[in-house]
């Protein structure tokens, strides 16, 4: 079963009797690990109250297009950027008609126009309305735009009719949302990813390291798994829970990381070096704590280079596709390009780590991806979203 761990799902509720099932849809999405925000149309509020959906989602419910409380009154754009996927349950015949022509006359329809996220529709209506040619034409138009549909099911309807038009069960809808993330573009591939920092010991209690949290590498692991890959995640010391479907190997130093990578790389299709490996380590690591004495005012450390893990992978006789990251504080593209050439990489992700709002430790990132033939700018987004975009690009290299 696909998980929705770390996914942000927007649930649109429109005005039909099946709106009474929307709280269960929200609950099932949360059971799969998603964070959920709800948008209700005016009609939906006639069937159930926003308070119910606020209680089950744990978030304020959005109902108004023009919302003075939303930052700069741009709530629709913020919501559109927030959602990793949008599910409309129930989607009435009227809602489908408005979406099909691209109306932007209420919050939900506007968010759909403003979002690039996958959209899943769970239609619910009377069986005659479902079969109606106008409705089928609307669905066809929406399918051509990439909208997916779950259901409707067949059976007894609230109006007394029997036939197709019942909204799918909540569990089925939640699973269909999760399936939106399963692209299959890396089906059957083995992806090895490094993440987090390395720690280079000075003595038993001190070390050299950096601010990497592992978030970027862990997000890439989940995105690769969702794309169908088998993933080995080699992680430096971080406080993150890995996707349960990844094969996780914990390491401490650059040397440990090198050995772990070399132990699994044979036959791998893709290697992604997202780890912030220390470039230098102490020449000697003292077996006892280095003591501070009154006489000692300064301490000089002698450092040596650590093994270059990614260069070792790209030097293999049959290397996988090798993707690196370049963490830079200045001359981003120049340094990233030089690293791509020097380390013989197919792709490098140039990461400006001089900014506080992206890069090390933050939940967001903004990067420029360089390949041998192109440059792709990726605007600021969550590391989870970015990971999915990067996996799409990486899959094109295999
Ligand atoms: O972990 P987060 O908090 O989410 O932050 C993400 C990140 C900023 C750590 C990540 O996105 C990133 O930029 N990782 C690469 C950091 C880095 O070490 O960059 P570099 O320019 O020093 O190294 C270039 C490449 O060589 C990297 O792919 C690195 O993994 C690899 N390398 C470096 C040194 C070494 N001894 N062995 C290596 O394999």
Question: What is the SS3 string spanning 72-116?
Answer: HHCHHHHHHHHCCEEEEEEECHHHHHHHHCCCCCCHHHHHHHHCC
pLDDT score of 74 more than 70: no
pLDDT score of 268 more than 90: yes
Any catalytic annotation for residue 159? yes
Domains located in the chain, CATH noted = 8-179 (3.40.50.1950), 190-395 (3.40.50.10300)
Dihedral of the CA atoms 4, 270, 333, 376 (nearest 10)?
A: -60
Burial class (CB in 10 A: 0-12, 13-18, 19+), 285: middle
What integer pLDDT is reported at residue 78 of this predicted model?
85
% pLDDT > 90, the chain: 88
Average pLDDT over residues 379-388: 92
Provide the β-strand partners of residue 120. 87, 148
| pTM summary value | 0.86
Query: What's the CA-to-centroid distance between 80 and ligand 1, angstroms?
Result: 31
Reference 311, options 278, 271, 280; nearest CA is: 271
Average pLDDT over residues 73-81: 79
Q: Give the tens place of pLDDT for each residue, 148-183.
A: 999 999 988 888 888 899 999 999 999 999 999 988
pLDDT higher at 90 or 161? 90
Residue nearest to atom 13 of ligand 1 (CA): 327
User: In terms of DSSP H, where are the helices of 132-287?
Assistant: 133-144, 170-179, 215-226, 254-264
Q: Give the tens place of pLDDT for each residue, 92-146.
A: 999 999 999 999 999 999 999 999 999 999 999 999 999 999 999 999 999 999 9
Give the H/E segment covering residue 56: helix 50-57
Query: What's the CA-to-centroid distance between 327 and ligand 1, angstroms?
Result: 6
pLDDT score of 6 more than 90: no
Question: Which residues neighbour 366 within 8 Å (Cβ) at sequence distance 6 or greater?
Answer: 352, 355, 358, 378, 379, 380, 381
Cβ pair 340, 366 in contact under 8 A = no
Query: What's the CA-to-centroid distance between 252 and ligand 1, angstroms?
Result: 15
pLDDT score of 73 more than 60: no
Average pLDDT over residues 176-200: 96
Query: What's the CA-to-centroid distance between 221 and ligand 1, angstroms?
Result: 15
Confidence of residue 235 (pLDDT cuts 50, 70, 90): very high
What integer pLDDT is reported at residue 66 of this predicted model?
80
Backbone angles phi, psi at 38, to 5 degrees: -115, 135
CA distances from 125 to 138, 141, 263, 296 (A): 14, 18, 56, 81
What integer pLDDT is reported at residue 143 of this predicted model?
97
Which regions of the chain does DSSP assign to beta strands (E)? 8-13, 35-40, 85-91, 119-123, 148-149, 153-156, 162-166, 190-195, 200-203, 206-208, 230-235, 247-250, 270-273, 280-282, 303-305, 321-328, 347-352, 364-371, 375-382
Average pLDDT over residues 301-306: 97
Taking the CA of residue 238 as reference, the ligand 1 atom at the shortest distance is: 1
Residues lining ligand 1, Cβ inside 6 A: 194, 196, 212-216, 254, 273-277, 279, 306, 308-310, 324-327, 339, 351, 353, 359-361
Tell me the longest C-alpha to C-alpha distance in the chain.
93
């Amino acid at each position: 079963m696909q998980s929705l761990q770390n996914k942000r799902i927007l649930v649109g509720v429109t005005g039909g009797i099946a709106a009474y099932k929307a709280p269960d849809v929200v609950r099932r999405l949360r059971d799969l690990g998603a964070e959920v925000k709800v948008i209700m149309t005016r009609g939906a509020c006639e069937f159930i109250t926003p308070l119910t959906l606020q209680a089950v989602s744990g978030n304020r419910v959005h109902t108004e297009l023009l919302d003075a409380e939303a930052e700069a009154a741009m709530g629709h754009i913020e919501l559109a950027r927030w959602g990793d996927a949008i599910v409309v349950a129930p989607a009435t015949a009227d809602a489908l008609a408005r979406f099909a022509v691209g109306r932007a006359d209420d919050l939900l329809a506007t968010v759909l126009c403003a979002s690039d996220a996958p959209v899943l529709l769970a239609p619910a209506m009377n069986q005659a309305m479902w079969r109606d040619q106008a409705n089928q034409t609307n669905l066809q138009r929406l399918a051509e735009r990439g909208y997916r549909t779950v259901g409707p099911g067949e059976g007894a309807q609230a109006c007394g009719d029997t036939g197709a038009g019942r909204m799918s069960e909540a569990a089925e809808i939640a699973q269909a949302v999760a399936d939106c993330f399963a692209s299959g573009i890396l089906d059957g591939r083995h992806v090895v990813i490094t993440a987090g920092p390395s720690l280079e010991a000075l003595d038993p209690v001190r070390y050299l390291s950096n601010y990497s949290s592992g978030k970027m590498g862990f997000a890439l692991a989940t995105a690769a798994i969702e794309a169908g890959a088998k993933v080995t995640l080699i992680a430096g010391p971080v406080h993150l829970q890995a996707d349960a479907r990844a094969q996780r190997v914990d390491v401490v130093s650059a040397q440990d990381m090198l050995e772990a990578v070399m132990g699994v790389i044979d036959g791998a299709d893709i290697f992604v070096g997202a780890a912030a490996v220390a470039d230098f380590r102490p020449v000697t690591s003292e077996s006892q704590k280095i003591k501070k004495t009154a006489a000692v005012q300064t301490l000089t450390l002698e450092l040596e280079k650590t093994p270059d893990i990614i260069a070792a992978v790209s030097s293999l006789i049959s290397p996988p596709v090798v993707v690196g990251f370049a963490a830079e504080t200045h001359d981003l593209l120049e340094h990233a390009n030089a690293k791509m050439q020097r380390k013989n990489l197919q792709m490098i992700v140039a990461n400006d780590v001089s900014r506080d709002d992206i890069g090390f430790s933050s939940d967001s990132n903004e990067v420029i991806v360089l390949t041998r033939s192109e440059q792709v700018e990726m605007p600021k987004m969550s590391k989870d979203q970015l990971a999915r975009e990067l996996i799409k690009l990486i899959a094109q290299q295999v």
